[in-house]
Amino acid sequence: MQTEKPIDFSSMPDARGHFGPYGGLFVSETLMEPLDELREAYEKYMQDETFLAELDADLANYVGRPSPVYHAERLSRENGGAQIYLKREDLNHTGAHKVNNTIGQALLAKRMGKQRIIAETGAGQHGVATATVAARLGLECVVYMGAVDIARQEANVYRMKLLGARVESVESGSKTLKDALNEAMRDWVTNVDNTFYIIGTVAGPHPYPAMVRDFQAIIGREAREQMHQQTGALPDALVACVGGGSNAIGLFYPFLNDAEVKIYGVEAAGAGLDSGQHAAPLCAGTPGVLHGNRTYLVEDNNGQIIETHSISAGLDYPGVGPEHAWLKDIGRANYVAATDDEALAAFHTLTRVEGIIPALESSHAIAYALKLAREMNTNQTVLVNLSGRGDKDMHTVAALDGLKI
């Protein structure tokens, strides 16, 4: 009998950035050569001892890594079922996992001799993380942000300005994250000689999905060891929220070859998957090509991208990293969704029961993890990526309580 050879997940993507039918390189010709240069630099420096040592030192001394894994005992007990562990990316400098990637890409930009950094941002977390590293390295920084997001994330806009970045309001299309990404691409195509584009998630053309994953995979590598230390075993299940998918793949990637570990990515169901008001391409979308790669999209029958909805700006994106699209199709990971209401309830639960105020994005992961844990035994474990802290969301949550802060 022939046995099928298991997939070695560490070998993905292929040389041109494909994860099965997904990923690849779909950009206008002007960017093909610069993307090739970027790929070469990334491949070279990911093997370069000095570069890796500098990256490690920054992650330790500037970001504060390793981030702890915390056994949420009281939450687990009150919820019932499996033991819930939290990977505390919220404790990173700037308050989310985003900085793991911006540190890496900014060091790469410096090595490539680029003096100008651009980025797109939705919630403003990636914008802040980019402005932060640009300030530290003395690089010019321009952040593109949809006009709608600027209005709902004032505090982060101010933070970026304090850090010395210029925030460009994007008025085209739906004036949200996807349009900010379009605008950043337009800037890059125009200023490609001196500019490095730091994409904030595992989207975009090759090598971005692989490169951002590799910079975020520190999350999973640490967590693997920490779970071993604390429980003597790998977790039974992993849970992370999925916007573009960077915190999720960062946690999942080092576990993909461990077939016994179940994997759950949680998308934003907004007002409900049936309502049309969601940001859940994997759960309710179809494949297509956007922002440089083939993946699942929230789109109409004519291939036009549809405006998404989520209470959390960081999940409000119509696409998703191509590796997730592939993991879904081959069945290695399960993709589920949590509504605005479920995420909010989880936000309050974690805050009240554990004294940890999560980002609304991360609250989606918590919401699903609570549900999942209840269906498991008390001697089993669920590891949740707490991708960010909720400080940035105070005004959103307060507004729902009728308060203005």
Structure tokens at 65: 């890594």
Minimum Å distance from CB 135 to ligand PLP?
19
Of 67, 76, 363, 387, the catalytic one is 387
| Cβ distance to ligand PLP smaller for residue 195 or 247 | 247
The listed partner (another protein, ligand PLP, none) that binds 185, CB under 5 to 8 Å by sort, is another protein
The yes or no reply on residue 247 touching ligand PLP (CB under 6 A) is yes
Cβ neighbours, 10 Å, residue 154: 11
Q: Which of 27, 84, 86, 96 binds ligand PLP (CB under 6 A)?
A: 96
Cβ neighbours, 10 Å, residue 21: 13
Question: CA 392 to CA 38: how far, in whole Å?
Answer: 32
| Cβ distance to ligand PLP smaller for residue 76 or 247 | 247
Give Cα 229 to chain centroid, integer Å: 26
Minimum Å distance from CB 125 to ligand PLP?
3
Minimum Å distance from CB 318 to ligand PLP?
13
| Cβ distance to ligand PLP smaller for residue 91 or 376 | 91
The yes or no reply on residue 244 touching ligand PLP (CB under 6 A) is yes
- For the beta sheet containing 22-23, the strands, ordered from the edge strand earlier in sequence to the opposite edge, are 18-19, 22-23, 293-297, 286-290
Of 120, 222, 342, 361, the catalytic one is 120
The listed partner (ligand PLP, another protein, none) that binds 189, CB under 5 to 8 Å by sort, is another protein
In the complex, the residues that contact another protein under the rule CB under 8 A are: 16, 24-34, 172-173, 178-179, 182, 185-186, 189-190, 192-193, 286-292, 294, 297, 299, 301-305
> Binding segment for ligand PLP among 34-42, 74-82, 292-300, 358-366 (CB under 6 A)?
358-366
| Cβ distance to another protein smaller for residue 63 or 184 | 184
Contact present, 385 and 251 (Cβ < 8 Å): yes
Phi/psi-derived region of residue 299, left when phi > 0, alpha when psi is between -120 and 50, beta in every other case: beta
The yes or no reply on residue 204 touching ligand PLP (CB under 6 A) is no
The dihedral formed by the CA atoms of 279, 297, 153 and 27, expressed in degrees to the nearest 10: 170
Of 98, 114, 175, 371, the catalytic one is 98
Question: CA 224 to CA 170: how far, in whole Å?
Answer: 40
> Binding segment for ligand PLP among 4-12, 148-156, 244-252, 295-303 (CB under 6 A)?
244-252
**Window 360-399: contact mask with ligand PLP (x via CB under 6 A):** -xx------------------------xx-----------
Contact present, 112 and 106 (Cβ < 8 Å): no
The listed partner (another protein, ligand PLP, none) that binds 16, CB under 5 to 8 Å by sort, is another protein
Structure tokens at 68: 């702890």
The listed partner (another protein, ligand PLP, none) that binds 130, CB under 5 to 8 Å by sort, is none
Contacts 24+ apart (CB under 8 A), 149-154: 149/121, 149/122, 149/123, 149/124, 149/175, 149/176, 149/177, 149/180, 149/313, 152/313, 152/396, 153/123, 153/124, 153/313, 153/392, 154/395
The listed partner (another protein, ligand PLP, none) that binds 30, CB under 5 to 8 Å by sort, is another protein
The yes or no reply on residue 163 touching ligand PLP (CB under 6 A) is no
Contacting residues for 284 by C-beta, under 8 A, at least 6 apart: 273, 278, 298, 337
| Cβ distance to ligand PLP smaller for residue 81 or 209 | 209
Cβ neighbours, 10 Å, residue 130: 33
Q: Catalytic site residue 140?
A: no
Q: Catalytic site residue 67?
A: no
Q: Catalytic site residue 222?
A: no
**Helices (DSSP H) in 138-193: which residue ranges?**
147-152, 154-162, 177-190
**DSSP state for residue 165 in the 8-state scheme:** P
Residues that bind ligand PLP (CB under 6 A): 96, 122-123, 125-126, 201, 241-248, 314-315, 359, 361-362, 387-388
Among all residues, which ones are annotated catalytic? Answer: 98, 120, 387
